[in-house]
Structure 1
């Protein structure tokens, strides 16, 4: 593995340098554009093979633009003063507070208590709990690490053997509810903000919290209902008798009564979501809502200065910021215009009709995921390739972000989805079989396209097509 990383690093540096300084500048592009193109090629190789930490690769990419004179410092690092970065920070902090106080566990367990203690009831409960919790925590890995042990506890309580069909099914119910359903809500994962931040500002305004939810509502219903029946079809045991809720009851007893900090956190998050929904009408920036919510939690000593330092993944924040910088820089140095001329014969037919787009673009992303493992890298690559076509599209380009964010999250092979790997690690790889992963991923890939197709009439009614 170390040798592979070393080889990939050398290849990345050599290819990047060749493109930036050796390859003749093609017609329609400048030397600055070649420097940025070379750095993007190097960075993606580094990201794909995890040569060095992703956020360091991103920092070096932005620094290289300044060092070699492609753009100045203010232009290169401008994204870090944007509202998108601050809502990511505020959102991560709110999610960290919800996890710290135990609010997330309590919501999940209360939902599970309401449904029968058998495979059908508890798989549905886990999926519903994940869907409810998703918009509160904008980070997939903590949700995967938290939800799969709960699923394992239920699996053990129901007497399922490791990696059996029903054990695999409960694991996939956790992944489906807590990770797959992230595409339903803007605030459910930081990568949604990252993809949104890649596109021009005039299109970003369409992707407010409330608009995102409404535009993805048909997909949400299809993904939730279709996912439940898929898991039931693939994994339900022949005998599905209900047992007692002892496991859930025991966990709730250990949590005790709802604490002051939980109540405060729940109130702050609920108010924040309401303001995010009404943000466009109130002309209130989502970042301000998140930061005021964070400030309230700190003033009431629910979230401390140490929590702010230790419970937020600052490396992820920096990585996402460096990725988001690409969209503006590519336009600044003329890369988008040049790419448009190169890719137009292939891309234009796909983007010429929204119905074709929601079928073909996800398939392209599925295929790309076999090579580009990182969810955010895949989405970034696709978005950057499509940026040059925004001005010539017959529908609002913001819709592409919805399609991309719903399509990057597949797990046909375990290495293709990092949150799934986190979930497996949290239960010592004792729950889901390889065939269970592959079958459920294939089912999702089909359900995703169906859900997106049913979103198109809603997009038309909103005047976006």
Structure 2
């Protein structure tokens, strides 16, 4: 009730403050409800979907939005793509294909702690384009694998041996899951939301290939560097892991030959990913592509509709994503985003900076405000459009700004124990103390921003984004 009172209190306070010059009363009241909903999503007095429903109810009771306006985003493709992504990942995990791929890679490259960690990092990155949920991919597939391997090598928090190798492995796998999520539109459930918001701002769509190409260089630099950086500043006590390949081979032997469900899942995901990449040229959008893969899994009973219905996270996410999209959309239509962008533009412009340093300032403000959010999706829904508009107004090329902010919306999950879906399982395993988690996250965040703006900026010049 305390958290609910805080959420409501924020909304009431903003509601009764006088609206600034240039902002209509309707826009200001919607902002109050929107901020109240965001605070509720951060503090979670109720499940996120329930918080969103309270927000939508308030918009209608106060006549700030009509019913068609409040529920307009439920007809949008983005929330449904996210829900289907959860259902697809459920089939992928249930079939056992994810574990098989991971164990094969570990069996080949896991003889040392560093080699084992790299095998986990690149196995996760390899699967990233095919599983549009970092929580399902990293938390559902690779976290159990990483923990099992750490325990097999004698690294167990319950025995006080977490630093033997587990602390290093867990922290590294978590950090790189933020990077792999940034590299592909289909690697994190909220990335399509950023694409949708960018389309409404720019009037053009970020393609799957353009996003992946832009993230290739900064992403690979980080995937290669982060295990080495943590190996120096947070090293494992045990450098060699001769048992890891054997453990993986034992698990593969236990799995047996490729099952029919695994073959069907592989085929379904291959078709879906192929359509995600090439479907635009034949008029197949991302949702239709995802539905093709889901239909194959449903028809072949790899997954069932009952299992889809019981996936509470999918339905909860569908609900609150749609609510946030609706409110954010009408904040833009009512003119608030334009007003806010003008204020920030005036502030940044007063510094007299060229667009490059101005964009760096915008990135820093956007990135570190993520400490206030328990979800990358919530952050994107609340702030992406405004900061993209500010960046463009300061002279930043639109496509560059849209892709950079979209990718960094994943990377900034590195900061906290709650900022992205892969954080809770890795932190909850008990290998890394909370203070060390935040310390290392902040240190690496500086490295990430430098790589994305410097190495990424140079790469984006080569590929013509500016």
TM-score (norm 1): 0.88
Residue 37 to residue 95, structure 1, CA distance change in 2 (3 Å): same
1:305-454 superposed matches below 5 A: 305-311=305-311, 313-348=314-349, 353=354, 355-356=356-357, 359-386=360-387, 388-389=389-390, 392=393, 393-396=395-398, 397-411=401-415, 413-415=416-418, 419-425=422-428, 427=429, 429=430, 431-434=431-434, 436-453=436-453, 454=455
Which of 143, 147, 151 does residue 142 from structure 2 map onto?
A: 147
Q: What residue is the counterpart of 1:32 in the other structure?
A: 26
1:67 shift after superposition: 2.6
* Residue 133 in structure 1 maps to residue 127 in structure 2: yes
349-358 vs 360-369, which deviates more?
Answer: 349-358
1:297-308 superposed matches below 5 A: 297-308=297-308
1:213 shift after superposition: 0.7
**Separation (CA, whole Å) in 1 of partners of 2:260 and 2:351:** 53
**Separation (CA, whole Å) in 1 of partners of 2:46 and 2:163:** 37
Q: What residue is the counterpart of 1:52 in the other structure?
A: 46
Q: What residue is the counterpart of 1:110 in the other structure?
A: 104
Residue 415 to residue 272, structure 1, CA distance change in 2 (3 Å): closer
Which of 77, 85, 104 does residue 79 from structure 2 map onto?
A: 85
Note if contact 1:354-1:456 (Cα within 8 Å) is conserved in structure 2. no
**Separation (CA, whole Å) in 2 of partners of 1:440 and 1:362:** 20
Note if contact 1:112-1:248 (Cα within 8 Å) is conserved in structure 2. yes
Tell me the SS of whatever aligns to 1:190. Answer: coil
Q: What residue is the counterpart of 2:117 in the other structure?
A: 123
Note if contact 1:17-1:38 (Cα within 8 Å) is conserved in structure 2. yes
Note if contact 2:133-2:189 (Cα within 8 Å) is conserved in structure 1. yes
Note if contact 1:136-1:269 (Cα within 8 Å) is conserved in structure 2. yes
Note if contact 1:350-1:360 (Cα within 8 Å) is conserved in structure 2. no
Residue 300 to residue 349, structure 1, CA distance change in 2 (3 Å): farther
Residue 282 to residue 331, structure 1, CA distance change in 2 (3 Å): same
**Separation (CA, whole Å) in 1 of partners of 2:238 and 2:5:** 56
1:113 shift after superposition: 0.7
Note if contact 1:85-1:321 (Cα within 8 Å) is conserved in structure 2. yes
Q: What residue is the counterpart of 1:255 in the other structure?
A: 255
**Separation (CA, whole Å) in 1 of partners of 2:266 and 2:112:** 29
Residue 407 to residue 354, structure 1, CA distance change in 2 (3 Å): farther
**Separation (CA, whole Å) in 1 of partners of 2:46 and 2:409:** 25
Note if contact 1:183-1:406 (Cα within 8 Å) is conserved in structure 2. yes
Note if contact 2:139-2:421 (Cα within 8 Å) is conserved in structure 1. no
Query: What is the CA RMSD across the aligned residues, in angstroms?
Result: 2.7
1:165 shift after superposition: 5.3
**Separation (CA, whole Å) in 2 of partners of 1:70 and 1:131:** 44
1:217 shift after superposition: 0.7
Listed as ranges, the gaps of 5+ residues in structure 2 are none
1:126-205 superposed matches below 5 A: 126-142=120-136, 143-160=138-155, 162-164=161-163, 166-201=165-200, 203=202, 205=204
Residue 422 to residue 353, structure 1, CA distance change in 2 (3 Å): farther
**Separation (CA, whole Å) in 1 of partners of 2:118 and 2:358:** 31
1:452 shift after superposition: 1.1
Residue 237 to residue 297, structure 1, CA distance change in 2 (3 Å): closer
Residue 152 to residue 351, structure 1, CA distance change in 2 (3 Å): farther
Which of 12, 19, 24 does residue 7 from structure 2 map onto?
A: 12
33-42 vs 73-82, which deviates more?
Answer: 73-82
TM-score (norm 2): 0.88
1:18 shift after superposition: 4.1
**Separation (CA, whole Å) in 2 of partners of 1:281 and 1:348:** 40
Number of equivalenced pairs: 455
Structure 1 runs of 4+ off > 6 angstroms? 349-352
Listed as ranges, the gaps of 5+ residues in structure 1 are 1-5
Note if contact 1:154-1:247 (Cα within 8 Å) is conserved in structure 2. yes
**Separation (CA, whole Å) in 2 of partners of 1:406 and 1:366:** 10
1:46 shift after superposition: 1.4
